[in-house]
Amino acid sequence: MTSLLIRSRGPLIRSRRQFFELAAASGLTLAGAGFVMPGSGGGARAQAAGPPVAELMAESALPDIWLGSKDAPVTIIEYASMTCPHCAHFHAETMPSLKSKYIDTGKVRFTLREFPFDPLATAAFMLARCSGDKRDAMVDLLFAQQKIWAFADKPLQGLVSLTKQTGMAQEAFDACLKDQKLYDNVNQVRDRGGQKFGVDSTPTFFINGKKVSGSITPDELDRHLEPLLKS
């Protein structure tokens, strides 16, 4: 078996003690997930080629949760990690514009897919999925408060405090992190993104199938979307 890589850069688990604290608390078998990724990137880098759109849209281990109209002419898929600071920056600075200008107006359909860098990010995504129809609200909260829990000496305590704000009881928190099937499914989504679609950093976007790596500013978002909406 291969152990999950613990990276030393960014707001990831910073020591073996934190890793085993999370593993012991969750009761998960943190093995068989040896996918290696470089650090997340800043400025967006567009790439001309992308995977077939039909493959991108195919069902995966976890159902996509979409925002926007099914008839929108543009589809955006984001691969993100909950412990990625550039992902948090995108959701704070660009997501409000994306939602108001493009999603709410029927021009864009958007979904976020799990691409955790480390066990802490995996746990955060699991907790978001366990929130049911509050999943996106939980993702927004965790990104907004990322510095509080992802950089903390005891990240689980930070996650407990934040999830309580959403009404999740301690028993539900514990049960969620002990859900081996959910843990496996989150990592299957990540592995599929890396192996089939070439995702190797976060955030990575697929805009109508075109791969764009790195955080996107509101102005860059306009430059990517306007030509697609004019055609």
pLDDT for 213: 94
Q: Which residues of 94-129 are buried (b: 16+ CB within 10 A; e: fewer)?
A: bbeebeeebbeeebbbbbbbbbbbbbbbbbbbbbbb
pLDDT for 36: 36
Pairwise CA distance, residues 9 & 164, whole Å:
29
- Average pLDDT along the chain, 231 residues, taken 10 residues at a time: 32 44 50 38 55 88 96 97 96 97 98 95 96 93 94 87 91 94 96 95 96 96 95 63
Burial of 54 (0-12, 13-18, 19+ CB in 10 A): exposed
Burial of 17 (0-12, 13-18, 19+ CB in 10 A): exposed
pLDDT for 6: 33
pLDDT for 40: 47
Copy the structure tokens of residue 44. 């967006």
pLDDT for 50: 67
Query: What one-character-per-residue DSSP string does 163-205 give?
Result: HHHTT--HHHHHHHHT-HHHHHHHHHHHHHHHHHH---SSSEE
Q: Which residues of 155-194 are buried (b: 16+ CB within 10 A; e: fewer)?
A: bbebbbebbeeeebeeeebeebbebeebbebbbebbbbbb
Ordered by start, the domain boundaries in the chain are 65-201+208-230
Query: Which residues, at least 6 apart from 191, have a Cβ–Cβ distance to it below 8 Å?
Result: 33, 35
Give the largest CA-CA distance in the chain: 53
Q: What pTM value is reported for the model?
A: 0.82
So what CATH class is 65-201+208-230? alpha beta
Pairwise CA distance, residues 131 & 120, whole Å:
17
pLDDT for 47: 55
Reading phi first (left if > 0) and then psi (alpha if -120 to 50, else beta), residue 27 is in left
